[in-house]
Amino acid sequence: MPELPEVETVRRGLAPVMEGQMITRADVRREGLRWPFPDRMAERLTGARVLRLGRRSKYILADLDTGETAIIHLGMSGRMLISGTELGKFHHDHPAPEKHDHVVIDMENGARVTFNDARRFGAMDLCATDAVNDHKLIATLGPEPLGNDFNDSYLVEALKGKNTPIKSALLDQGIIAGLGNIYVCEVLYRAHIHPARKSGRIAAGRIAGLVPIIRDVLSEAIESGGSSLKDYRQADGELGYFQHAFRVYGREGAPCQGEGCGGTIARIVQGGRSSFYCPQCQR
């Protein structure tokens, strides 16, 4: 599933062709994806102008001049792909529709944005812009890890006394919004913390030290265009590159890259998800 860096990369790719532009036509080709689409979604999108593209956790938020906001979740395999834009002197025509092109949005500048989702775990909804923070998908989310509300004092207090493994705690969207399996593995490796350690038994100083590491890992991933493992693509169709910088994720049996370590990357399963770590570096 795309995590915060992938969703932020897609948002940044969409912004130049969508912000300030009117949606001239919205073609909704099925009744829904993970959940049914809202009533009259095509009609409510058509003619609306996109004022701003934002992001909250793993959701893209498109504020419209109609007073509504489109909430978009990519799910497991969703892609938001752009066609028809000019790159230098070359104009790219729109490709023929594909089987899993479920929502197609034409912009007044000639760009087309296509929501393609082979596994149909994605979602789209519309709600009043002034009620977005109360939407069922948004209301329970914790602070953004790259925002000012996420700091060492907050994280120490949030994890104090918790019997939950630190890996599970960092994946809890009510504690931190947007972190997923890949980046939590990488964060814990850099912090030298075993993924099964109980959150409440880790010293406050080590918990506080997670904050800058989380920011660094996410920022580096965004700069690299996210991580492409299976389905993920940037809005221009290109792959992300952060997977080439993984130090533990997906590297079971490979040597640890820590200087002088000599350990071997191991894998355990926590909550149905694989956790990759170095038994020697992470305690």
Domains and CATH numbers, the chain: 4-134 (3.20.190.10), 152-277 (1.10.8.50)
At residue 279, the 3 state secondary structure works out as coil
| 87-139: pLDDT as tens digits | 443 455 677 777 899 999 999 999 999 999 988 999 999 999 999 999 999 99
Annotated active-site residue 255? The verdict is: no
Annotated active-site residue 49? The verdict is: no
More confident residue, 46 or 260: 46
pLDDT band for 243, please (50, 70, 90 cuts): low
Annotated active-site residue 144? The verdict is: no
C-alpha closest to that of 191 among 174, 207, 178: 207
Q: What does the alpha-carbon distance between residue 118 and residue 84 come to, in Å, rounded to a whole number? A: 22
Annotated active-site residue 2? The verdict is: yes
Helix (H) or strand (E) holding 106: strand 101-107
pLDDT band for 236, please (50, 70, 90 cuts): low
Query: Percent of the chain at pLDDT above 90?
Result: 75
CB-neighbour burial class of residue 252 (10 A; exposed 0-12, middle 13-18, buried 19+): middle
Global pTM reads: 0.89
Q: Which residue out of 56, 58, 79, 247 is catalytically annotated?
A: 58
